[in-house]
Amino acid sequence: MPFLFEKKEHKKDAHEYIEITGYEGAVSNLVVPAQIEGLPVEAIGNHSFSARQDLKSVTLPETIKTLYGFAFHNCRNLKKISLFDSIDDYYDGVCRQCDSLSEIDITINRTWFEVIRNFLSDNDRTLHFTIRVRQEKEKDQGVTGPGNEIYVTSSLTFPEYVYDFNENTMARTIQFSIAGSGMFYRECVDRRSINYREYDKLFEKAKIDGGSVSEDIAVGRLLYPVELDDRYRLMYEEYVSGCGLSILKRYIEGAKDDPAPAVNMIRELLRYSGEKELFSRGAIDEAISCSVELGLTEVTAILMESGSGAGSEKSAAMRFEF
């Protein structure tokens, strides 16, 4: 096995477990096993994968309880981490200086959101969370998991922020400042819950920052509307409608390198039904033109199907050329 590890004895109950200390050879998509030599894998050791430039994704099993200091520090190509809320101990710098890290996929089985807080504290860049929370089985919402559990999914984007200081030599003081809405968004998560109402209220601050981050916040809340109040739903609909072409073009561009997730997002957005149309006829026509130019057959077909009932002459011409 390419994993480097040590057998440990737990200080409280003396049970044996495995602590991962590294990996021999190159690995792009790291999948940590739940067991090694019949023992549960419960920890990722200090600096186990620090400064590895080959890592692009990491998947951790539910047996993991401890992430020691700087476990994935300075893995500059690491983009995604998938894990569970089984983490009891998260030490300093686990994902610090992971400049490409943007996606955290987490399954919440014990209503423990602390690990989300830890990632947000450890990284000041924009982070996108896909959060699946297990519900009581009698609830009729969500997605059925392997053990017939019911999961409700939310998609939350936490903007970046900049923590800066300026020295006032005349007053002999140091003045601290925070730029960006990211710090405020991070305060919406506590150990046992996420305050979705407060998250939605902060959108006015996110719009000031602008760009793709505010678009991602709005799209995530509309497609996965956990505890989404009607007034905020309408606010997000109006915002997406106002920058619909920008959103579609961004996903179309993304489909060049990673087709599956981009195509899925385009399809879900076009299926969305609410009080307000998210995309105008003109936005869809422009998106079709962009998709045709890039040679993205599947995306073009999806966009054309979405606009097939509008009777646009431009769309008809596109369908003929296609």
Q: What is the DSSP string of 165-184?
A: EEEETTTTEEEEEEESSHHH
- Give me the phi and psi of 139, to 5 degrees please: -70, 140
- In the chain, the percentage of residues whose pLDDT exceeds 90 is 78
**What is the predicted pLDDT for the residue at 145?**
54
Q: Classify 162 as helix, strand or coil.
A: strand
Point out the least confidently predicted range of 71-75, 166-170, 185-189, 316-320: 316-320
Dihedral sign of CA atoms 248, 252, 257, 260 in order: positive
pLDDT, average across residues 274-297 = 93
Which pLDDT band, with edges at 50, 70 and 90, does 269 fall under? very high
Query: Measured between alpha carbons, how far is 300 from 294 in angstroms, rounded to an integer?
Result: 10
Angle between helices 211-223 and 244-257 (to 10 degrees): 90
**What is the predicted pLDDT for the residue at 180?**
78
**What is the predicted pLDDT for the residue at 314?**
47
**What is the predicted pLDDT for the residue at 141?**
54
The full length of the chain comes to 322
CB within 8 Å of 147: residues ≥ 6 apart: none
- Amino acid, single-letter form, for residue 117: R
**What is the predicted pLDDT for the residue at 238?**
96
Tokens coding 172: 């002999």
- Give me the phi and psi of 216, to 5 degrees please: -65, -35
Give pLDDT tens digits for 234-254.
999 999 999 999 999 999 999
Query: Measured between alpha carbons, how far is 318 from 302 in angstroms, rounded to an integer?
Result: 13
**What is the predicted pLDDT for the residue at 322?**
44
Query: Measured between alpha carbons, how far is 99 from 167 in angstroms, rounded to an integer?
Result: 28
**What is the predicted pLDDT for the residue at 1?**
72
Is residue 260 over pLDDT 80? yes
Would you give the distance in Å from CA 92 to the centre of its chain? 21
**What is the predicted pLDDT for the residue at 318?**
47
**Are 20 and 4 within 8 A, CB to CB?**
yes
Give pLDDT tens digits for 104-162.
999 999 999 999 999 999 999 999 999 999 987 655 555 655 566 799 999 999 999 87
DSSP one-letter string for 92-125: TTTTTT-TT--EEEEEESSS--HHHHHHHHH--S
Report the half-sphere exposure of 178 (CA within 13 A, side-chain side): 11
Residue boundaries of the structural domains of the chain: 243-322
